[in-house]
Structure 1
Amino acid sequence: MSNALSKLLAAGLLVAFGVFVPASSQAEGLALGAKVGGNWSLLSKPSDPAGEPSLLSGSAFDGMGFLVGGTVHYPLVETQGAVLEFEGGLLFSRHSAMGFEQDPETGNRRDVTLQANMLRVPLLVHLRRGTADTPASGFRLGVGLEPMLGLQSGAIVDPGPEKLHTTPTSHLGATVALGFDYQANPQLSIPLEFRATWDPFVADNTVERFDDFNTSNDPGNYQVAYNWQLFFMTGVRWQL
């Protein structure tokens, strides 16, 4: 995806958030949540032109991880039987993706696992059933932006002893969510949710995936990030 289109998407979502600013600071309709779940991350194979350096180009990288954290929810607009609601959160996610690189001349192969810890700040708008202060069981659809702050990264290379040095990366992603909320009582609900986060700022080629590429023998630190992150999560939500 081009940088121009990425900026256009980000700008459009920011405008959407600007339109739906809460009209008052009252706590009516405010809810708190806790989430836990698993994730699957994908880093695509780099598309390196012929003759250009091509590291970690044997395959795409994918694997499983987990997520845990808390959220806050605030109603923005209420219509008959439905509510447009803002969600903000602070989530910790652990990612691990495995792939391989292979020397096209010798055929030698190394298995590589890329790992990263992130602090995520989802800023989403959901459409759900119910009223502002009385949620109802039913499906929920959400969309928004998600800043992802890289905390730690690493790489496991097999066979060694050659190492791959990495650095954590902070990007802005776009997230869509589809969930089902089970309303256990007027205050407590249990969400089941699927989310997909797309990171448009992951570079397409090997050179740009390193923070300060010099040569193939001195590439610098590999910036660990993932094009796609899929999440399945559950938890609790408490209506204040």
Structure 2
Amino acid sequence: MLTYAWRMFSDVKHFLRINCQKLFLTAKVLWIVSTYKLIMLIQNMHLYQGVVVRNVPHVSGHSISDTVDHFFQTNHPNHYIDHQAVYNANKYSKLVRKRERVRNWLDYNKLKFERHPDRRPTTKIGFLGICGKRVDSIEYYEQQIKEIDKRIALERQRILKDPKSIMPVAFVSFNSRWGAAVCAQTQQSRNPTLWLTNWAPEPRDVYWQNLAIPFVSLSIRKLIVSLTCVRFGVLLHDTHCFCAIPCKFGGS
């Protein structure tokens, strides 16, 4: 019995020693990875040096891009590096999204044909695909993609050639985080509605369609939304009070 107990104790001790070594190794690896990520984060902090400027005034004889470049070279000569003007490409983005949808349908029908090679998939080209002429799905969607690609190319050329496509918005880069902070947190013009600056968000966080909305219209929309929310909150409060009256009488 003692021999069996001693053997069990030795096995448990050996098991704990091996697992403690594995646990220590895992903790060490996690510590190294965490430290590396922290170091990279600290090193990349200086890369966040972008500012978005809105309501760039139109100067006769100069493009928006030239106006932005001249303004920042004059007012921030020691920290300004470059800028990127923003184009009103809402129609272009709609075409790109439409192409993605058609491409998904094409991939779906190709996969369907691979599973059943004895019959080609078909679709109706009428309203919502429930009426109209029945055609080969793969050929139809391939032709749709070609037509959309042509429209995308034409729309891209139109945007680049039309000066009216450039919006009064630009993303500005600085050579230091301090220079970007000064620009983002200070008023750039005597007119408080011009040259509005703020920290540039990540591209995935930008709602690009809103950049085409003028500042005054955007402010009015924000005000309307705020008033609507307040009004809705008041209505909810009144409804709650109105419903609470019969509950109190019923409870009493």
TM normalised by structure 2 equals 0.19
Higher helix share: 2
Higher strand share: 1
Which protein is bigger by CA-based radius of gyration? Answer: 2
TM normalised by structure 1 equals 0.20
